[in-house]
Structure 1
């Protein structure tokens, strides 16, 4: 009897031990699954988390830079000074024989302004000083006396014009808003030759074959046919340059302007691609 009781007690203790032990054996740590799988997966998860964190903290890609558009240079201030008179004054200032100064509209305006300021000073007792703005004549004379090259004169004049310190004749303003110093200097040479007894340049023979942008059309009139000449403005052209191209001298720029008043607001407003009528002189 005692043995039977002890046997039953032992069996009961064994069953209790099994019941108590199994919950702990069901935990993931008690399983004998391969540890390299768990480690690999954990490492992969950690890598993904770091990669996402790196992407989130990385700076956003910058958009491709847009090419800057070249700034349009400011158009020079213009004056109604006659280029022939201005050139004559340059030659007179340089002491060219047989050339006398010619009063210009700018000289008259300056004298008038000086008189007004003098009257104001007399009435108020406060002296007013006339702004000593450089003129194209003074800049050119100084550059020629210094023996500057054509390129250097071009730089000096255009820098002064771009800064607003200088006003230039309208016929010298090019289609790209620069001062056509080539025409200005060519006119000085031409007038010097004429003053020295030489002849004025002859009108060149201009044809569509030797002049880019030129075309000739036959226009039928009531009684006859005439040839009409047209010219398409090229980069760097000025009205003075076009006059020299077709007539040999700048003095016919006003005839070209008059023939194209429907297209040109003023002589300094020519644009690349404009189709101009070239009158017969």
Structure 2
């Protein structure tokens, strides 16, 4: 019995020795990777290059910065980064359109001084006063205006598509400022509204009727919804509109009221959401008020 036990013990030692020293033998089997794919003998296996984690972190933060709530310690979702938008001024589109029609020779249309022109004249007067007092002359640089670009394009017979390209190229280059209600949710200049307003004012100047308020409903207007709000004495219908891609405040005014005339009504009703008329974004839910009778 003792001999059998000793023999089995020695046999176990031999098996353990073979298992321990087998990986160090050469040329017996072809190794395999973690997926079981054979690796050819003599081929050097290297680790994939480790990505630069610092660079990746900086890139991620640049695209979507993360913030931590100091009260809860939770990481907040990244805020949406607004799109780039063209330069704007406080010129009223109706004033600019009036001057375009006057330059094109519409009878009975007189030019008016726009807000940007008045500001430029005021700046010129200030510079003239400084020159008179100090003898130092400052020249106010000339710059393109949307009004001049549109007049030149219309006189040249450019198409709507060509005018859109010309105006947006100038706006993207930062060489021209546009009325705030023409800035779309995508950061472009809404030349459709611009040209629509010129045609509308031209028709009125020629004795035509002002555009009627269109019939809008959720069935024919994407993004629109109507909710019935119950009050103590009666029920009232509240209209809402979700901003779509390519919308401008001028376009929304035309959609619901037939012209840009009531854009301020929409803006005033949504001042808690909009800091200025050019700050609309896709997905914003705007209140569309009813006009007083």
Displacement of 1:48: 4.5
2:155 corresponds in structure 1 to 145
1:167 corresponds in structure 2 to 177
Alignment counterpart, residue 256 of structure 1, candidates 243, 257, 266: 266
Matched, 1:179 2:189: yes
> The residue matched to 2:275 in structure 1 has which SS?
coil
Cα deviation code 1:24-76 (max 9, x no counterpart)? xxxxxxxxxxxxxxxxx7xx9xx945x33xx56x996999xx9xx9x976211
Q: Structure 2: state its 5+ residue gaps.
A: 1-26, 31-39, 53-58, 64-80
Displacement of 1:125: 3.0
Displacement of 1:122: 2.9
Displacement of 1:115: 1.1
Q: TM-score, normalised by structure 2?
A: 0.72
Cα deviation code 1:232-272 (max 9, x no counterpart)? 11000011000000010001000001111111111111111
**Rg bigger for which structure?**
1
Higher RCO, 1 vs 2 (CA within 8 Å, ≥6 residues apart): 1
Q: Return the alpha-carbon distance in structure 1 between the equivalents of residues 206 and 111 of structure 2.
A: 16
Matches within 5 A, 1:1-281: 48-49=41-42, 51-52=43-44, 74-281=84-291
**RMSD of aligned residue pairs (Cα, Å):** 2.7
Displacement of 1:97: 1.2
Runs of 4+ residues over 4 Å off in structure 1: 58-63
Cα deviation code 1:104-140 (max 9, x no counterpart)? 1111111111111222233343332111111110111
How many residue pairs get aligned? The number is: 231
More helix by proportion, 1 or 2? 1
Q: Return the alpha-carbon distance in structure 2 between the equivalents of residues 219 and 59 of structure 1.
A: 62
